[in-house]
Chains A and B, each alone.
Chain A
């Protein structure tokens, strides 16, 4: 492979995959938060 501008090509691919990973982590954390909230509301209703 032509070594010219290899570093910036690496940055480009790294940036693309990083954005996807950050979004997946964001989705995962929101999923946990929603599941916890659903459990909390259900428990609250059961108490009432």
Chain B
């Protein structure tokens, strides 16, 4: 009974988040394409920043949440934290993929090349590979506690790379643009041009929360299947 109530509550939260995310995205896209002024040198392509930056904010937020959940697993050995870390990491990896794809398309026009082995791009690719490895590792190991322990270690390792990705544009001045956002003392983007980045981040966070909830439900079904199989073997 209580599980049904909790499932209903979860469904309601998901609907609310979906509506909020859709409303925010619709308003933001309208603002980005119809209201915001053009950038002098880049033409329309500069608008990719409104997908690129919110995606990395969402991805990195998720990876840090996964780090916290992984650390909690290592301390408590409670598999629910492992399930949460796995769900958040997989969803964050989707947003990290958006960062790489949109960055490459922007680079094709602005730099004339799809990819450069510059410090920011390379560290971001390494970050993506670490978390892709995390997802693959979980598929490769059947034993739950061993899978959880090794995944938690990879999650901690991945977060070290996130710090390097973040600082890379300060430590090495290579091809990727220097910090632009005013929160990083980058001088800002002009009046009203920066706020859609944060609103899109909020919309993506709502979307990510929905995907994590769906993914958590799948983790719960997987656990149920595992326990039923163990029961079947016991007979």
Contacts and interface: CB of A to CB of B under 8 A. Distances in A.
A and B: bona fide binding partners: yes
Interface of A: 1-6, 8-9, 11-13, 15-16, 19-20, 23-24, 27, 30-31, 34-35, 37-38, 41-42, 44-45, 48
Contacts of A31: 214, 217-218
B232 A12 contact: no
B31 to A, nearest CB: 12
B interface bracket (residues with beta carbon within 8 Å of A): 35 or more
A12 B106 CA distance: 7
A27 to B, nearest CB: 6
Contacts of B55: 16
Contacts of A13: 47-48, 51
A8 B105 contact: yes
Nearest to A28: B214
B44 A15 contact: no
Nearest to B221: A34
Contacts of B38: 1-2
A1 B46 CA distance: 12
Contacts of B48: 9, 12-13
B33 A15 contact: no
Interface in B196-212: 207, 211
Contacts of A44: 232
B117 interface: no
Contacts of B222: 34
Nearest to B229: A41
30 contacts: A1-B33, A1-B38, A2-B38, A2-B39, A2-B43, A2-B44, A5-B43, A8-B106, A8-B108, A8-B109, A9-B44, A11-B105, A12-B45, A12-B51, A12-B102, A12-B105, A13-B51, A15-B98, A15-B105, A16-B102, A19-B98, A20-B207, A23-B94, A23-B211, A34-B218, A34-B221, A38-B221, A41-B225, A41-B228, A42-B228
